[in-house]
Structure 1
Amino acid sequence: MFIQPWNAGHLLVHLARPNPVWTAIDNDPNVLFTVFGDYAFIPGPWRAKPDTPPADGVPTSYYAAVQFTCRATLVDDPEDKAELLRRQMAHFQPDGDHAPISVDQPPYDRMLPGIRGLRLEVTGVRAKFTYDDHKPVGHRTAVADRLTERGQGLDAPTAHQQRRRLGRIGPWKP
Protein backbone atom coordinates (compact mmCIF):
# COMPACT_ATOMS: atom_id res chain seq x y z
CA MET A 1 0.00 0.00 0.00
CA PHE A 2 1.14 3.52 -0.75
CA ILE A 3 -0.53 6.71 0.38
CA GLN A 4 0.04 10.09 -1.12
CA PRO A 5 -1.71 13.42 -0.78
CA TRP A 6 -3.62 14.00 -4.00
CA ASN A 7 -4.81 17.52 -3.54
CA ALA A 8 -6.34 19.53 -0.74
CA GLY A 9 -8.75 17.27 1.05
CA HIS A 10 -7.91 13.99 -0.74
CA LEU A 11 -5.58 11.03 -0.29
CA LEU A 12 -4.61 8.47 -2.93
CA VAL A 13 -4.04 4.83 -2.04
CA HIS A 14 -3.59 1.62 -3.95
CA LEU A 15 -3.98 -1.88 -2.60
CA ALA A 16 -3.75 -5.39 -3.98
CA ARG A 17 -6.92 -6.57 -5.70
CA PRO A 18 -7.31 -9.64 -3.38
CA ASN A 19 -7.39 -7.39 -0.27
CA PRO A 20 -10.51 -8.21 1.79
CA VAL A 21 -11.11 -4.50 2.46
CA TRP A 22 -12.87 -4.14 -0.92
CA THR A 23 -15.98 -5.96 0.32
CA ALA A 24 -16.31 -3.57 3.24
CA ILE A 25 -15.83 -0.50 1.00
CA ASP A 26 -18.40 -1.83 -1.48
CA ASN A 27 -20.87 -2.07 1.44
CA ASP A 28 -20.02 1.37 2.87
CA PRO A 29 -17.67 3.88 1.22
CA ASN A 30 -17.27 5.81 4.49
CA VAL A 31 -13.89 4.70 5.79
CA LEU A 32 -11.48 5.45 8.59
CA PHE A 33 -7.84 5.63 7.49
CA THR A 34 -5.29 5.67 10.31
CA VAL A 35 -1.57 6.34 10.19
CA PHE A 36 0.88 6.36 13.07
CA GLY A 37 4.58 6.77 13.51
CA ASP A 38 7.45 7.32 15.86
CA TYR A 39 6.05 4.89 18.44
CA ALA A 40 8.24 4.03 21.43
CA PHE A 41 7.55 2.47 24.83
CA ILE A 42 8.89 4.57 27.72
CA PRO A 43 9.68 2.45 30.82
CA GLY A 44 8.42 3.62 34.20
CA PRO A 45 11.87 4.29 35.72
CA TRP A 46 12.57 6.82 32.94
CA ARG A 47 9.51 8.80 34.06
CA ALA A 48 9.97 8.72 37.82
CA LYS A 49 9.65 12.10 39.47
CA PRO A 50 12.81 13.53 41.04
CA ASP A 51 13.49 12.27 44.55
CA THR A 52 11.27 9.19 44.10
CA PRO A 53 12.35 5.60 43.60
CA PRO A 54 12.71 4.75 39.87
CA ALA A 55 10.30 1.83 40.32
CA ASP A 56 7.56 4.36 41.20
CA GLY A 57 7.63 5.81 37.67
CA VAL A 58 4.63 4.99 35.51
CA PRO A 59 5.36 3.73 31.97
CA THR A 60 3.82 5.28 28.87
CA SER A 61 4.22 5.34 25.11
CA TYR A 62 5.24 8.22 22.87
CA TYR A 63 3.59 8.30 19.45
CA ALA A 64 2.00 10.31 16.69
CA ALA A 65 -1.32 9.11 15.28
CA VAL A 66 -3.75 10.61 12.77
CA GLN A 67 -7.18 9.31 11.81
CA PHE A 68 -8.80 10.47 8.59
CA THR A 69 -12.53 9.99 8.16
CA CYS A 70 -13.04 9.67 4.41
CA ARG A 71 -15.47 8.92 1.63
CA ALA A 72 -13.85 6.38 -0.69
CA THR A 73 -14.14 6.32 -4.47
CA LEU A 74 -12.80 3.25 -6.25
CA VAL A 75 -10.26 3.73 -9.02
CA ASP A 76 -10.49 0.75 -11.40
CA ASP A 77 -9.99 2.31 -14.84
CA PRO A 78 -6.52 1.24 -16.06
CA GLU A 79 -5.49 4.74 -17.17
CA ASP A 80 -6.74 6.25 -13.90
CA LYS A 81 -4.73 3.66 -11.93
CA ALA A 82 -1.67 4.46 -14.03
CA GLU A 83 -2.14 8.17 -13.25
CA LEU A 84 -2.47 7.35 -9.54
CA LEU A 85 0.83 5.44 -9.70
CA ARG A 86 2.48 8.29 -11.64
CA ARG A 87 1.54 10.72 -8.87
CA GLN A 88 2.86 8.36 -6.21
CA MET A 89 6.11 7.76 -8.08
CA ALA A 90 6.54 11.52 -8.58
CA HIS A 91 6.44 11.78 -4.80
CA PHE A 92 8.52 8.72 -3.86
CA GLN A 93 10.97 8.76 -6.80
CA PRO A 94 11.00 12.38 -7.95
CA ASP A 95 14.20 11.83 -9.95
CA GLY A 96 12.15 9.76 -12.38
CA ASP A 97 14.48 6.77 -12.13
CA HIS A 98 11.75 4.27 -13.00
CA ALA A 99 10.13 2.84 -16.09
CA PRO A 100 7.30 4.82 -17.65
CA ILE A 101 3.98 3.96 -16.05
CA SER A 102 1.76 3.02 -18.94
CA VAL A 103 -1.23 0.73 -19.42
CA ASP A 104 0.38 -0.78 -22.51
CA GLN A 105 4.12 -0.94 -21.68
CA PRO A 106 6.10 -3.20 -19.35
CA PRO A 107 6.53 -3.51 -16.48
CA TYR A 108 3.41 -1.76 -15.21
CA ASP A 109 0.99 -2.96 -17.91
CA ARG A 110 0.94 -6.45 -16.41
CA MET A 111 0.81 -5.17 -12.81
CA LEU A 112 -2.09 -2.71 -13.10
CA PRO A 113 -4.79 -5.43 -13.16
CA GLY A 114 -3.51 -6.66 -9.77
CA ILE A 115 -4.28 -3.42 -7.93
CA ARG A 116 -7.22 -1.19 -7.21
CA GLY A 117 -6.99 2.45 -6.31
CA LEU A 118 -8.86 4.57 -3.81
CA ARG A 119 -9.42 8.28 -3.91
CA LEU A 120 -10.21 9.23 -0.31
CA GLU A 121 -12.07 12.48 0.19
CA VAL A 122 -11.16 13.60 3.70
CA THR A 123 -14.24 14.59 5.69
CA GLY A 124 -12.63 14.74 9.14
CA VAL A 125 -9.25 14.54 10.87
CA ARG A 126 -8.32 13.63 14.42
CA ALA A 127 -4.72 13.62 15.60
CA LYS A 128 -2.90 12.78 18.79
CA PHE A 129 0.74 13.38 19.60
CA THR A 130 1.88 12.01 22.96
CA TYR A 131 5.36 13.04 24.08
CA ASP A 132 5.04 13.95 27.81
CA ASP A 133 4.54 17.60 26.87
CA HIS A 134 3.47 18.38 30.44
CA LYS A 135 6.88 17.34 31.79
CA PRO A 136 9.82 19.76 32.18
CA VAL A 137 12.18 20.23 29.24
CA GLY A 138 15.04 18.58 31.16
CA HIS A 139 12.95 15.46 31.72
CA ARG A 140 11.90 15.24 28.07
CA THR A 141 15.49 15.76 26.95
CA ALA A 142 16.67 12.95 29.25
CA VAL A 143 14.04 10.58 27.84
CA ALA A 144 15.09 11.50 24.28
CA ASP A 145 18.72 10.73 25.23
CA ARG A 146 17.69 7.34 26.66
CA LEU A 147 15.71 6.52 23.52
CA THR A 148 18.80 7.31 21.43
CA GLU A 149 20.96 5.11 23.66
CA ARG A 150 18.46 2.23 23.59
CA GLY A 151 18.18 2.41 19.79
CA GLN A 152 15.39 -0.14 19.28
CA GLY A 153 12.55 -0.05 16.76
CA LEU A 154 11.40 3.53 16.25
CA ASP A 155 13.39 4.92 19.20
CA ALA A 156 15.59 7.16 17.02
CA PRO A 157 12.77 8.92 15.14
CA THR A 158 10.79 9.22 18.39
CA ALA A 159 13.79 10.85 20.10
CA HIS A 160 14.18 13.17 17.11
CA GLN A 161 10.50 14.11 17.32
CA GLN A 162 10.84 14.75 21.06
CA ARG A 163 13.86 17.02 20.56
CA ARG A 164 12.20 18.84 17.67
CA ARG A 165 9.21 19.62 19.87
CA LEU A 166 11.15 20.94 22.88
CA GLY A 167 11.33 24.55 21.72
CA ARG A 168 7.88 24.62 20.17
CA ILE A 169 5.99 23.81 23.33
CA GLY A 170 5.22 26.62 25.72
CA PRO A 171 7.14 27.01 28.97
CA TRP A 172 6.62 24.22 31.44
CA LYS A 173 4.32 25.10 34.30
CA PRO A 174 5.12 23.54 37.71
Structure 2
Amino acid sequence: MFVQPWDAGLDEAEWQTWIAEGHDFGQLSVNGPAGGPPLVVPTHFSSDGGDLLIHLARPNPVWEAIERDPNVTFTIIGDYAFIPAPWRAAPGTEPTDGVPTSYYAAVQFTCTAHLVDAPEAKAELLRRQLAHFQPDGDHATVAVGQPPYGRMLSGIRGLRLHVTGVRAKFKYDDHKPVELRTAAADRLTERGQGLDVPAAVQQRRRLRRVGPWKL
Protein backbone atom coordinates (compact mmCIF):
# COMPACT_ATOMS: atom_id res chain seq x y z
CA MET A 1 0.00 0.00 0.00
CA PHE A 2 1.49 3.30 -1.14
CA VAL A 3 1.17 6.08 1.47
CA GLN A 4 1.87 9.72 0.70
CA PRO A 5 3.26 11.75 3.65
CA TRP A 6 -0.02 13.66 4.03
CA ASP A 7 -2.06 10.44 4.04
CA ALA A 8 -0.05 8.67 6.74
CA GLY A 9 -1.46 7.80 10.13
CA LEU A 10 -0.62 10.52 12.63
CA ASP A 11 0.17 8.05 15.42
CA GLU A 12 -0.65 4.51 16.51
CA ALA A 13 -3.64 5.69 18.52
CA GLU A 14 -5.32 6.99 15.36
CA TRP A 15 -5.57 3.66 13.56
CA GLN A 16 -6.17 1.74 16.78
CA THR A 17 -9.12 3.99 17.62
CA TRP A 18 -10.47 3.71 14.08
CA ILE A 19 -10.47 -0.09 14.26
CA ALA A 20 -12.00 -0.07 17.76
CA GLU A 21 -14.88 2.06 16.47
CA GLY A 22 -16.22 -0.96 14.59
CA HIS A 23 -13.89 -1.62 11.68
CA ASP A 24 -13.49 -5.34 12.35
CA PHE A 25 -13.93 -6.83 8.89
CA GLY A 26 -11.11 -7.18 6.41
CA GLN A 27 -9.35 -9.28 3.80
CA LEU A 28 -6.75 -11.95 4.46
CA SER A 29 -4.26 -12.19 1.58
CA VAL A 30 -1.93 -15.17 1.29
CA ASN A 31 0.65 -16.19 -1.30
CA GLY A 32 -0.93 -18.54 -3.80
CA PRO A 33 0.71 -21.49 -5.56
CA ALA A 34 3.73 -20.80 -7.76
CA GLY A 35 2.61 -19.00 -10.88
CA GLY A 36 -0.88 -18.46 -9.47
CA PRO A 37 -2.58 -15.38 -8.06
CA PRO A 38 -2.72 -14.56 -4.35
CA LEU A 39 -5.65 -15.99 -2.40
CA VAL A 40 -7.88 -13.39 -0.72
CA VAL A 41 -10.50 -14.18 1.93
CA PRO A 42 -12.96 -11.61 3.37
CA THR A 43 -13.62 -12.22 7.06
CA HIS A 44 -14.37 -10.73 10.44
CA PHE A 45 -11.53 -10.62 12.96
CA SER A 46 -10.88 -9.73 16.56
CA SER A 47 -7.65 -8.95 18.35
CA ASP A 48 -5.81 -10.45 21.27
CA GLY A 49 -2.84 -8.36 22.28
CA GLY A 50 -0.49 -8.33 19.32
CA ASP A 51 -2.40 -11.00 17.37
CA LEU A 52 -5.42 -10.93 15.07
CA LEU A 53 -7.82 -13.83 15.58
CA ILE A 54 -9.63 -15.47 12.66
CA HIS A 55 -11.41 -18.75 12.01
CA LEU A 56 -12.32 -20.17 8.61
CA ALA A 57 -13.96 -23.31 7.29
CA ARG A 58 -11.68 -26.31 6.99
CA PRO A 59 -12.33 -26.71 3.22
CA ASN A 60 -11.05 -23.18 2.55
CA PRO A 61 -8.18 -23.35 0.02
CA VAL A 62 -5.99 -20.92 1.98
CA TRP A 63 -4.74 -23.56 4.43
CA GLU A 64 -2.33 -25.25 2.06
CA ALA A 65 -0.96 -21.87 1.02
CA ILE A 66 -0.47 -20.74 4.64
CA GLU A 67 1.26 -23.99 5.56
CA ARG A 68 3.63 -23.41 2.66
CA ASP A 69 4.22 -19.72 3.45
CA PRO A 70 2.91 -18.23 6.73
CA ASN A 71 3.74 -14.64 5.72
CA VAL A 72 0.36 -12.99 5.11
CA THR A 73 -1.29 -9.58 4.87
CA PHE A 74 -4.54 -8.49 6.47
CA THR A 75 -6.22 -5.31 5.23
CA ILE A 76 -9.15 -3.29 6.57
CA ILE A 77 -10.72 -0.59 4.36
CA GLY A 78 -13.57 1.75 5.24
CA ASP A 79 -15.05 5.25 5.27
CA TYR A 80 -14.53 5.57 1.53
CA ALA A 81 -16.16 7.88 -0.99
CA PHE A 82 -15.66 9.01 -4.59
CA ILE A 83 -14.86 12.71 -4.90
CA PRO A 84 -15.93 14.20 -8.28
CA ALA A 85 -13.80 16.61 -10.28
CA PRO A 86 -15.67 19.86 -9.52
CA TRP A 87 -15.15 19.41 -5.77
CA ARG A 88 -11.37 19.61 -6.22
CA ALA A 89 -11.09 22.36 -8.84
CA ALA A 90 -8.69 25.16 -7.93
CA PRO A 91 -10.26 28.59 -7.32
CA GLY A 92 -10.69 30.57 -10.51
CA THR A 93 -10.62 27.52 -12.79
CA GLU A 94 -13.36 25.63 -14.58
CA PRO A 95 -15.04 23.13 -12.21
CA THR A 96 -14.51 20.38 -14.77
CA ASP A 97 -10.75 21.01 -14.63
CA GLY A 98 -10.59 19.48 -11.17
CA VAL A 99 -9.18 15.98 -10.83
CA PRO A 100 -11.41 13.39 -9.13
CA THR A 101 -10.09 11.12 -6.40
CA SER A 102 -11.08 8.60 -3.76
CA TYR A 103 -11.19 9.19 -0.02
CA TYR A 104 -10.70 6.21 2.27
CA ALA A 105 -9.15 4.88 5.43
CA ALA A 106 -7.10 1.68 5.39
CA VAL A 107 -4.97 -0.26 7.84
CA GLN A 108 -2.72 -3.01 6.52
CA PHE A 109 -1.06 -5.56 8.78
CA THR A 110 1.82 -7.77 7.76
CA CYS A 111 1.65 -10.92 9.85
CA THR A 112 3.05 -14.35 10.53
CA ALA A 113 0.19 -16.86 10.55
CA HIS A 114 -0.01 -19.58 13.21
CA LEU A 115 -2.54 -22.37 12.73
CA VAL A 116 -4.86 -23.26 15.59
CA ASP A 117 -6.07 -26.86 15.34
CA ALA A 118 -6.29 -28.27 18.87
CA PRO A 119 -9.99 -28.47 19.90
CA GLU A 120 -9.62 -26.54 23.15
CA ALA A 121 -7.44 -23.89 21.50
CA LYS A 122 -10.09 -23.42 18.79
CA ALA A 123 -12.79 -23.19 21.43
CA GLU A 124 -10.82 -20.51 23.27
CA LEU A 125 -10.33 -18.58 20.03
CA LEU A 126 -14.08 -18.66 19.40
CA ARG A 127 -14.77 -17.55 22.98
CA ARG A 128 -12.51 -14.55 22.48
CA GLN A 129 -14.19 -13.69 19.19
CA LEU A 130 -17.66 -13.95 20.70
CA ALA A 131 -16.58 -11.76 23.61
CA HIS A 132 -15.80 -9.11 21.02
CA PHE A 133 -18.79 -9.50 18.72
CA GLN A 134 -21.42 -10.45 21.32
CA PRO A 135 -20.21 -8.83 24.54
CA ASP A 136 -23.64 -9.22 26.14
CA GLY A 137 -23.00 -12.96 26.24
CA ASP A 138 -26.22 -13.81 24.39
CA HIS A 139 -24.83 -17.05 22.97
CA ALA A 140 -24.34 -20.65 24.01
CA THR A 141 -21.17 -21.71 25.79
CA VAL A 142 -18.33 -22.72 23.50
CA ALA A 143 -16.99 -25.96 24.92
CA VAL A 144 -15.36 -29.04 23.44
CA GLY A 145 -17.85 -31.90 23.21
CA GLN A 146 -20.86 -29.77 24.12
CA PRO A 147 -23.58 -28.59 21.72
CA PRO A 148 -24.01 -26.53 19.70
CA TYR A 149 -20.40 -25.53 19.08
CA GLY A 150 -18.61 -28.68 20.18
CA ARG A 151 -19.65 -30.73 17.16
CA MET A 152 -18.72 -27.85 14.82
CA LEU A 153 -15.13 -27.40 15.95
CA SER A 154 -13.86 -30.12 13.64
CA GLY A 155 -15.21 -28.16 10.67
CA ILE A 156 -13.07 -25.06 11.25
CA ARG A 157 -9.45 -24.10 11.71
CA GLY A 158 -8.25 -21.07 13.60
CA LEU A 159 -5.56 -18.53 12.85
CA ARG A 160 -3.49 -16.34 15.07
CA LEU A 161 -1.93 -13.65 12.94
CA HIS A 162 1.07 -12.28 14.78
CA VAL A 163 1.46 -8.69 13.61
CA THR A 164 4.96 -7.79 12.47
CA GLY A 165 4.18 -4.46 10.76
CA VAL A 166 1.40 -1.90 10.37
CA ARG A 167 0.75 0.69 7.66
CA ALA A 168 -2.12 3.10 8.15
CA LYS A 169 -3.53 5.43 5.52
CA PHE A 170 -6.17 8.15 5.87
CA LYS A 171 -6.59 9.64 2.40
CA TYR A 172 -8.70 12.77 2.81
CA ASP A 173 -6.84 15.49 0.85
CA ASP A 174 -4.87 16.72 3.87
CA HIS A 175 -2.39 18.41 1.53
CA LYS A 176 -5.15 20.54 -0.02
CA PRO A 177 -6.28 23.97 1.29
CA VAL A 178 -8.44 23.99 4.40
CA GLU A 179 -11.27 25.61 2.44
CA LEU A 180 -11.36 22.78 -0.11
CA ARG A 181 -11.36 20.10 2.58
CA THR A 182 -14.08 21.83 4.57
CA ALA A 183 -16.25 22.20 1.46
CA ALA A 184 -15.67 18.57 0.48
CA ALA A 185 -16.78 17.37 3.92
CA ASP A 186 -19.90 19.52 3.68
CA ARG A 187 -20.68 18.16 0.21
CA LEU A 188 -20.19 14.59 1.38
CA THR A 189 -22.62 15.16 4.22
CA GLU A 190 -25.14 16.74 1.87
CA ARG A 191 -24.80 13.97 -0.74
CA GLY A 192 -25.19 11.30 1.93
CA GLN A 193 -24.68 8.24 -0.27
CA GLY A 194 -22.98 5.02 0.84
CA LEU A 195 -20.20 5.89 3.28
CA ASP A 196 -20.23 9.63 2.49
CA VAL A 197 -21.08 10.67 6.05
CA PRO A 198 -18.41 8.51 7.74
CA ALA A 199 -15.89 9.79 5.17
CA ALA A 200 -16.86 13.37 6.05
CA VAL A 201 -16.39 12.57 9.74
CA GLN A 202 -12.87 11.31 9.07
CA GLN A 203 -12.03 14.31 6.93
CA ARG A 204 -13.20 16.78 9.58
CA ARG A 205 -11.32 14.87 12.28
CA ARG A 206 -8.10 14.97 10.28
CA LEU A 207 -8.69 18.63 9.46
CA ARG A 208 -8.87 19.46 13.16
CA ARG A 209 -5.64 17.60 13.86
CA VAL A 210 -3.62 18.52 10.78
CA GLY A 211 -4.86 22.00 9.93
CA PRO A 212 -2.99 23.50 6.94
CA TRP A 213 -0.55 20.94 5.56
CA LYS A 214 3.12 21.77 6.13
CA LEU A 215 5.92 19.83 4.46
TM-score, structure 1 as length reference: 0.91
Which amino acid in structure 2 is aligned with residue 3 of structure 1? Answer: F
User: Helix, strand or coil for the counterpart of 1:107?
Assistant: coil
TM-aligned CA deviation for residue 104 of structure 1: 2.1
Q: Render the CA deviation track for 1:41-84: whole Å, top value 9, x for unaligned.
A: 11111111111111001011111112211111001111111111
Aligned residue type for 1:61: S
Cross-structure match for 1:125: 166
| Equivalent residue, structure 1, for 2:97 | 56
Alpha-carbon spacing, 1:152–1:17, altered in 2? closer, same or farther (3 Å): farther
Unaligned runs of 5+ in 1: none
Aligned residues: 172
CA contact (8 A) 1:2 1:88 kept: no
Q: CA deviation at 1:134?
A: 1.0
Residue number among 147, 157, 165 corresponding to 2:188 in the alignment: 147
User: What is the SS of the residue equivalent to 2:112?
Assistant: strand
Q: Distance in 1 between matches of 2:123 and 2:153?
A: 7
Which position in structure 2 is the counterpart of 1:158? 199
Any stretches of 5+ residues in structure 2 without a counterpart?
1-42
Counterpart amino acid of residue 141 in structure 2 = P
Structure 1: how far apart are the matches of 2:76 and 2:190? Answer: 26
Task: Please show how residues 1-174 of structure 1 align to structure 2 within 5 Å.
Answer: 1-7=43-49, 9-172=50-213
Give the secondary-structure state (helix, strand or coil) at the position aligned to 2:114: strand
SS, match of residue 97 in structure 1: coil
CA shift, 1:172, in A, is: 4.2
TM-score by length of 2: 0.75
Distance of 2:142 and 2:59 partners within structure 1:
22
In structure 2, how many angstroms separate the alpha carbons of the residues matched to 1:170 and 1:51? 23
Deviates more, 1:139-148 or 1:74-83: 139-148
1:23 corresponds to which letter in structure 2? E
Contact 2:175–2:212 at 8 Å: present in 1 too? Answer: no
Q: Partner amino acid for 2:101?
A: T
- Cα distance in 1 for residues equivalent to 2:100 and 2:152: 46
CA RMSD across the alignment: 1.5
Question: SS where residue 74 of structure 1 aligns?
Answer: strand
Amino acid at match of 1:80: A
Moved more, 45-54 or 143-152: 143-152
